[in-house]
Structure 1
Amino acid sequence: MSSSDIFIGETIGTAVLILLGAGVCAAVTLKHSKARNAGWLAITFGWGFAVLTGAYLAGGVSGAHLNPAVTIGLAIEGGTKWSDVPLYLASELLGAMIGAVLVWLAYYGQFRAHLTDPEVLEAHRGEEGMVDPAAAPKAGPVLGIFSTGPEIRNAVQNVVSEVIATVVLVLAILTQGLNDNGNGIGTLGALITALVVVGIGLSLGGPTGYAINPVRDLGPRIVHALLPLPNKGGSDWGYAWIPVVGPLIGGALAGGLYNLAFA
């Protein structure tokens, strides 16, 4: 597998993953979206289909890691060369940022309408992130379209939740075996992994929103900080390390557990 294969596959696959995953969050959240208030089931299945599509696109090219936690787990397991890990991680982050920008473009009108709606502005008046909360309210939960956040802000619990959910994901991938390239999931594995992601969302997504993927959270959070969204509020950088560190620990633990119990 060449460096260009890794770069192209991971960038495109992760971009599609975020486009469809963050896209369902936008569809459920934003005013003037036909799917507004569709709920948690729509989000969990939307993310599952996002994984399925991204993995199908990238599987035959780069192995469809689409997730640094998966890359780390595969490197520890032995299916991915450590020398390839930096390129995988950089490509995944780039793809995640591209996907987030595409969501903004697809929902541009809905973002503008939502973030200038008087009812939304009033509902979120004085929330964290505004330069002058008394004069300019934060508008709406649009950060949740781009990145995750906890229901109860407790760093230890939040990290543990992300670790547990990521161990389930990466261990489920590792125990499927590798594709013909020997460096990722096969075609059937993409479907199984998508269903595992749905299951994680339904069962373990409640505490933190189940990032289970560092670039799924970090890339769109960077884009949220950079995009010219009116009244968008802060990007919650104080929490941003948790959905990066937790999944990386979970991916490493899953790789080690696989070698101990299944190899």
Structure 2
Amino acid sequence: MDLNFGEIFLWEMLGTAGLILLGAGVVANVVLKNTLGNNGGWLLINIGWGFAVFVGASIANPSGAHLNPAVTLGLAAAGKTEWSDVPAYLIGQLVGAFIGAVLAWLTYKLQFDTHDEPVNTRGIFCTGPTVPNYVWNVITEVIGTFVLVFWILLSPGAEAGDDVPTFGNSALGYAAVAFVVISIGASLGGPTGYAINPARDLMPRLAYAVLPIRDKGSAEWNYAWVPVVGPIVGGVLAGLLYQILPTS
């Protein structure tokens, strides 16, 4: 199925908005006071993010459900996405991520207003390292994203379409990638919060910077390049390695 620029943009925007709404939403549910999920813990966040990917990917199925610039660039590097389509994917993902972050804030508006540590709410929207070190933080993001994109490239569904690659497997479909994301978060997410998606981090960080959140803290733009560069490098490396494998 050949999609034009507008169609790719639309489905990626809708899917990524759903991803960020539910992903940021689960973090808000755990972090903010006066919620039913308060102090639900890291595992709840991992599970919530994993199934946020499932929902977002299901919505964006017509476009191949990239939802992630690192996935798009990795698939392009592997020869599974046309480079001419990349801008439509990236713009849709960036716009959708911003919209999803705003919707998450609207959902928890009253909880943001009554939270007793508003300066510490940035982590609801974007990631940050537990031990700041740009080089090693980038390496962590490279590795986590490589795992995600390499799995997508090797998953059975990756060969399902000629012009719009899909991923999953014959039994689980997009639910399969939810388990991969949960696994990455549980195993590799501790050092940096596993952005593994430039749009997922950059645009919610921008939303945090501009939204009228009471007494909020810094958006920490000095770190913002790490969850952009690391995932892009990891995704492209996965695509290039795939190119030289016998399965390609």
TM-score relative to the length of structure 1: 0.89
Alignment of 1:1-20 (within 5 A): 1-20=3-22
SS of the residue aligned with 1:219? helix
Alignment of 1:146-161 (within 5 A): 146-161=125-140
User: Could you say which residue in structure 1 is the equivalent of 2:33?
Assistant: 31
Shift of 1:63: 0.6
User: Structure 1 runs of 4+ off > 6 angstroms?
Assistant: none
User: Could you say which residue in structure 2 is the equivalent of 1:179?
Assistant: 160
The CA distance in 2 between the partners of 1:178 and 1:151, in whole Å, is 38
CA contact (8 A) 2:201 2:228 kept: yes
Matched, 1:260 2:239: no
Shift of 1:186: 4.3
SS of the residue aligned with 2:219? coil
CA contact (8 A) 1:24 1:43 kept: yes
User: Could you say which residue in structure 1 is the equivalent of 2:184?
Assistant: 200
User: Could you say which residue in structure 2 is the equivalent of 1:111?
Assistant: 112
Residue correspondences, number = 240
Shift of 1:187: 5.7
SS of the residue aligned with 1:104? helix
The CA distance in 1 between the partners of 2:163 and 2:4, in whole Å, is 13
User: Could you say which residue in structure 1 is the equivalent of 2:100?
Assistant: 99
User: Could you say which residue in structure 1 is the equivalent of 2:141?
Assistant: 162
| Greater Cα shift, 46-55 or 175-184 | 175-184
User: Could you say which residue in structure 2 is the equivalent of 1:76?
Assistant: 77
CA contact (8 A) 1:143 1:224 kept: yes
CA contact (8 A) 1:56 1:187 kept: no
CA contact (8 A) 1:24 1:46 kept: yes
User: Could you say which residue in structure 2 is the equivalent of 1:66?
Assistant: 67
User: Could you say which residue in structure 2 is the equivalent of 1:245?
Assistant: 229
Matched, 1:216 2:178: no
The CA distance in 2 between the partners of 1:11 and 1:170, in whole Å, is 20
Shift of 1:256: 0.4
Q: Percent identity?
A: 55
Structure 1 stretches of 5 or more lacking a match?
121-138
The CA distance in 2 between the partners of 1:182 and 1:202, in whole Å, is 33
Q: Is the alpha carbon distance of 1:248 and 1:233 closer, same or farther for their aligned partners in structure 2, counting shifts above 3 Å?
A: same
Larger radius of gyration: 1
User: Could you say which residue in structure 2 is the equivalent of 1:126?
Assistant: none
CA contact (8 A) 1:169 1:197 kept: yes
Shift of 1:140: 3.8
Matched, 1:87 2:88: yes
Matched, 1:234 2:228: no
- Match of 2:46, as an amino acid? T
Structure 2 stretches of 5 or more lacking a match?
none
- Match of 2:55, as an amino acid? T
- Match of 1:180, as an amino acid? G
TM-score relative to the length of structure 2: 0.94
Shift of 1:183: 1.9
